[in-house]
Each structure stands twice: as C-alpha cells, then as structure tokens.
Amino acid sequence: MPLNAPDYPSATAAGAPAFPPYPATLVIQGDAWRSAHAYGAQAPLFKPRTYIGKLGANDIALSDPYASRVHAVIYWTPQGYEIEDLRSTNGVYVNGVRITGRAPLTPGQVIRVGRTDMIFYALRREPWPGQPAAGGVAPAPPTALQPAAPAPFQHTGVTPSAGARFSVWVGAEWRKRYWKVFLVGISLLVFSEYLLNGSMGLTALWLVVPVAAALMPVSFFIYCWDSDYLADMPRWIPWATFFSGAFLGVTLAFILERVFVTNESFSDAMLVGLIEESCKALAVVWFIRNRRLRSEIDGVILGAAAGAGFATLETIGYALVAYVGGFSDGGGLAPLNATLLLRGLLAIFGHVTWTAIIVGAIWRDRGQRSFKLTFGVVFTFAVAVTLHGLWDGVPYLGVLIAAVIGIWLLRFFLREAVARERLGVMAPPPPLLFALGTYLLHPFRDPLPQAPAPAPAMFTGSWSVAPAPVWSPAPAYQPAPGEPPRMRICANGHSTTNPAARYCRVCGVPLGA
C-alpha cells in the first residue's frame, strides 16, 4: 500500500502494534464533537486505540443524544484498522450495515456512531507550507464519489503541556451546569435563611428545608448529567430510583429502627447503619434484572440515586423535628441549621456515597447473573455500614473520617466504572481488594491503561487525506405508475417488496435497485 509504509513499520510490543499500519484520520460531519487531536473537521488516529462516545474521557467525545458513553473503538492491527462496537445501545454502522463485534476498515468507508457520520481516510505526507510538492504534481480535482477533501494539517509532534491540559479542563468545566446550579442553590438558601430570621418567620421554613435537603443531591445528579454518566440509561430510571430510595427506603428504615434501636450508643449507631444501608440497597431491586443496565457505572448511578432520595426525605423529616424541639434540644433555628448542614449539605459525603459504592460493587461483580454474592460485595457493604456508624456514633471526628474514606471509595468506583466501559465485553473485573490496593498506591493512574502510544514526533509533518472512493447508498427503487411491486433480493438471499426500503430488514445489507 503506497501510504508511507517504510516510515511506519509494523513492529509490535507485547502483542500490540507499536506503530500504525498506515497514517489515517476520521473526517467527522458537523460540529457536535471534540478531540484533543482535532484539526478542523479531522480527528487523526494517533493512538493504538481511539475511543468514541459521549464521555469526555473518550479520544473523540460526541455531543450526540444517540451515542453511548463509550460507543466504539478503532484499533491499529498488523493487517490494518478495525472498529468494534462496545455494546452500544444504537449500534455502529459501516457503509450502512450494522456491525457485530469487530469489522475491518478500508479508506473511504462511512462510519455512523449514533447520528454522527465520519469518513475513514488514509493520510499522505504533504510538503510543509512554502515547500514545492514532489514532482510538481497537483492533487486531482474532486469527483462525484470523492468530495473536496479537508485542508491539510500540520502536526508539530509536541504533546500538550500540563498548563494547556489544565486550561482545557477548566474550559470544559466552565461549560457545565452543576456548579452553576450549586451556586444558585446556595444563594437561594442564604436568602431563605435571611427571610427565616426576619419578618417571614415560619413561612420561610418551607423554603429553607427543601432547598437545603435537595441542594447537594440535585447538584450531584446535574454533575452526572453533565459528565454523560446517564447516557444509555432511560431518563425515568434515576428518578424512579430516587423516589424508591426516598419512600421505600425511609419507610422500611423507620419501621425497623422503631423496633430494634433503643438508645443512642455506638452499637446502636452501627445497627442504624446496617438497617439503613440494607433498605437503600433494596430500593434498586426493581432494576436488578434489567438487561440494559449491566455496567458498573449503572450500579454506581442507581446507588447514588437511591441514597440521594433517602437523604432528601430523611433530612426534611429530621429538620422539621429539630425545629419544633423533638430532639430535647429546645428547638429553634440553631438545631434546624445544624441538622440541615449535617444531613443535607453533607449528604454527598454520606448517604449518596455509601449507597453508590454498595450498589456499584453489586453491579461490578454480578457478571451475567442478576445477583452474585462475592467477597467484594460483602466487604463494600461492611465498609459502608462502618462509615455510617462512625458518622452517627462519633461526633465530628467520625463525620470527618467517614467523609474522607467515603469520597475516596466513590472516586475509585467512578474511575474504574468509566474505564471498564472501554472493555466492550462482560469481562470479569480484578479482585476488589487488589484493585483498591493499586488505586491506593497509584491514585492518578488509569485503572485500565492503554498500550503506550508512539512518540508524537512520528507524526510530525504536514498531512492530507489520500483520495479514496466514498460510499454512498443506492437510490431506493421506485416502481412506475401502475407497475406491481417488484421482488428485491439482498446479497444474503432475503427478499422484500417494499419499494422504499434501503436496507434488508433481516440482515441489514444495503438493497440496490
């Protein structure tokens, strides 16, 4: 293949190609995407694995409502490039045919991910600006099959500095909504506290309590929405889990605690933790058999939703009881605000985190089963109950310890869940204690590191797309007036008489005239 093969040997390291089979790029239609290596409409395939999907951690991040979190991956292989559908909801189409597993790519093919089309092209070296082309041969003009190619780009071979990466991160966070929602909520809370202490009195209580109880859970969910963690999940499911955690979880916990909890000792605080964590985990039982919610990140989000619902309703109840003096503290604003701070504004460090890691561990280890009781599940449940007991049973210090350890564990589960989206199959995870130990020693390392990419200097130079025929679908057959429908047979022998059909409804092969 005359694509600078001498410049890119097919050397391998540990079974994976260390060099691309030939330089290639994706020309992506529209502007609803971003990439750290974007050059205009192009996203060159500079890495051994290029991940495509909605998550910002992808190499090509799409703002496409029909794309999955990690939708597809393009590999370097010794034989060429291959694309794989990573269990996406809406599939990957190559030249109009939905693929299963991996499929080879050849220049000129059209890839559809969600509703986003991208054309796979080979690249060829061009002279630097001002340098005459080799042989003085001008590029061929565009044809009907070969539209005008995007402009050449220059790659300097320099990786972005830490400052540049930080600037990109700040820019991405600035566009998100979670911190804006949080600031608006804090402003509203301060204003309602002012009214509560002023002339409105008890009337403002009905504004203060719901705002303080729901502020952190709502901000966390907006963060998950902004980060596209909720992609692949029907929008009603987090809300159903939220209300299930609120009403089912709080009701069961209230009944059991009235029967078994008799005082406020540390042992009873641990018992409360056991009861409440069990009730919150039961709030997600409706989705345990849902075949669509299979990944670890689904479990983390469902657990966080159940914990947020439980925390919101519980905080409202405790705050109203504290205000009227139901805890033998005289009642009033001071007990009310202390309750709202401990159980409302700090809910993200408590109920939300504890339930997220429990349900995340269940989904992590379940594999193809509906439920699988493993050491990892038992260990995580015991840790969550202990953190809950410390929070309730050891004033101040227990809250601090539980908050730090809980957020550390939640970060582990979120990072691992996002990384495991790249596996594409229901591969068994590593043992939980081993994974936690690795995370403790290397908290900033990718939980599932990719094969090392070659030095960026390999791609230094000026590049343009190499001409290739671009696939276009065959026009639909239209019978003449009065003509009976004609039988149309696809390449695999399936038949249809639908004149408007473009693809075989059985195997998806494009139908010709």
**Is residue 491 within 8 Å of residue 509, measured between CB atoms?**
yes
Q: Rounding to the nearest 10 degrees, give the CA dihedral for residues 244, 246, 250, 252.
A: -10
Model pLDDT, residue 134? 43
The letter for the amino acid at 43 is A
Least confident of 125-139, 169-183, 271-285: 125-139
pTM of the model: 0.78
Beta strand pairing call for 97-98 and 153-155: unpaired
- pLDDT top residue among 340 and 452: 340
For 119, half-sphere exposure in the C-beta direction (CA atoms, 13 angstrom radius) is 23
pLDDT > 90: what percent of the chain?
36
Model pLDDT, residue 375? 94
Burial call 485-512: b when 16+ CB within 10 Å, e when fewer = eeebebeeeeebeeeeeebbeeebebbe
Instruction: Evaluate if residue 13 carries a pLDDT over 80.
Output: no
- Band the pLDDT of 14: cuts 50, 70, 90: very low
**Is residue 97 within 8 Å of residue 108, measured between CB atoms?**
no
CB neighbours of residue 59 within 10 Å: 19
Q: What is the DSSP letter of 396?
A: T
Residues with Cβ < 8 Å from 377, sequence gap 6 or more?
A: 358, 361, 362, 365
pLDDT digits over 253-275, tens only?
Answer: 999 999 999 888 899 999 999 99
pLDDT digits over 165-211, tens only?
Answer: 778 778 878 888 999 999 999 999 888 888 877 766 677 788 888 88
Model pLDDT, residue 220? 87
**Is residue 366 within 8 Å of residue 289, measured between CB atoms?**
no
Instruction: Evaluate if residue 233 carries a pLDDT over 90.
Output: no
Beta strand pairing call for 60-62 and 72-77: unpaired
Give me 327's structure tokens. 């805890």
pLDDT digits over 441-485, tens only?
Answer: 988 887 776 655 555 567 788 888 887 776 666 555 555 666 666
- Band the pLDDT of 120: cuts 50, 70, 90: very high
- pLDDT top residue among 77 and 165: 77
- Band the pLDDT of 142: cuts 50, 70, 90: very low
- The SS3 of residue 252 is helix
3-class SS string, 423-440? CCCCCCCCCHHHHHHHHH
| Closest to 282 measured CA to CA, from 249, 250, 242, 237 | 249
